[in-house]
Amino acid sequence: MLGWMDLSMVFSRVLVFTAVILVTFVLARLVNAVVRTALRAVPVLTVDQAARLATLFVWLVGLLVAVNQLGLVLDVLLLLIALGGIFVVVGLRDLLPNLFSKVLVGVYLPFKKGDEIQIGKYAGKVIEINQVTTLLLGSEGSLIAVPNSLFLKQVLVNKTSVASRRLTIPVSIPATISLPEAEAAILKQVYKYRANFDHRFPPMFTVKKFGQSSVDAEIELVVANPENRDALISELTGRISALVDQMSSRDEKGKR
């Protein structure tokens, strides 16, 4: 009877071990897909590296859990997990700072696609800003890939004539609001301040990202006097935010 119970216990552990391996396989595939989707704007080689490291980490954790179900000694596997973690950190040491810098570049640094900039010894026209690098077209037609982290370490010179007078206002529009209606209402609000604009460059409403709960957009315009730039940003940001809140509240009341 005891032997039968032992056999039953071993069999159940093997089943759990197999189930954990299958779950790990599914999770590894899922993590691989999520990483590739999240980094779709990143160069392909970088995406492959990040996806491979993430998949490896999932498998290491899955094997740890699976072996634990068999009641085996985990010292060697724990060592492998530690080494795998170090490998992941070392492998992403260049990628993570650039991804983080991309967020700061988009929010704080005063340049856009099409601007002529100089950063350190590199100069050219900005033709692309992705998650890892900013691509410049050099004066001789050369393509220059500048790591985004470099913009946080060196002085940036924007040589575009309107750079100091350009302002960008981010706008988050709830998905419940009609986008064309929101665009028309926001631009109408913006044009109330047209006395401050450089009329050669009319305000532009651009959608940046569609989300499940909201749409990320931005208003871009050029002011006539750069001294009014900060005050106008503050004023318009408050007015647009209040307008969007008002439209959202109106739609919620309409549904009731």
Neighbours of 132 (CB within 10 A): 21
Average model confidence (pLDDT) across the chain: 78
* CATH topology for the 109-158 domain: SH3 type barrels. (2.30.30)
Q: What is the pLDDT of residues 146-202, one digit of tens each?
A: 887 787 778 888 777 777 788 889 999 998 888 999 999 999 999 999 898 888 788
Proportion of the chain above pLDDT 70, given as a percent: 74
For the chain, what are the domain ranges? 2-93, 109-158, 163-255
What sign has the CA pseudo-torsion 110, 111, 112, 114?
Answer: positive
Find the mean pLDDT for residues 220-227. 86
CA distances from 191 to 60, 134, 200, 206 (A): 57, 32, 14, 16
pLDDT in the model for residue 97: 57
Q: What is the pLDDT of residues 119-128, one digit of tens each?
A: 888 899 888 8
For the whole prediction, is pTM greater than 0.85? Answer: no
> Which residue would you say has higher pLDDT here, 175 or 64?
175
pLDDT in the model for residue 167: 86
> Which residue would you say has higher pLDDT here, 112 or 88?
112
Rounded Cα–Cα distance for residues 189 and 202 (Å): 14
Rounded Cα–Cα distance for residues 65 and 85 (Å): 16
Residue partners of 101: CB distance under 8 A and separation at least 6: 147, 148, 149, 151, 152
pLDDT in the model for residue 1: 43
Rounded Cα–Cα distance for residues 19 and 143 (Å): 50
DSSP string across 149-160: GGGGTS-EEE--
Of the candidates 85, 83, 84, 63, the one whose C-alpha atom is nearest the C-alpha of residue 74 is 63
CATH 3.30.70.100 fits 163-255, yes or no: yes
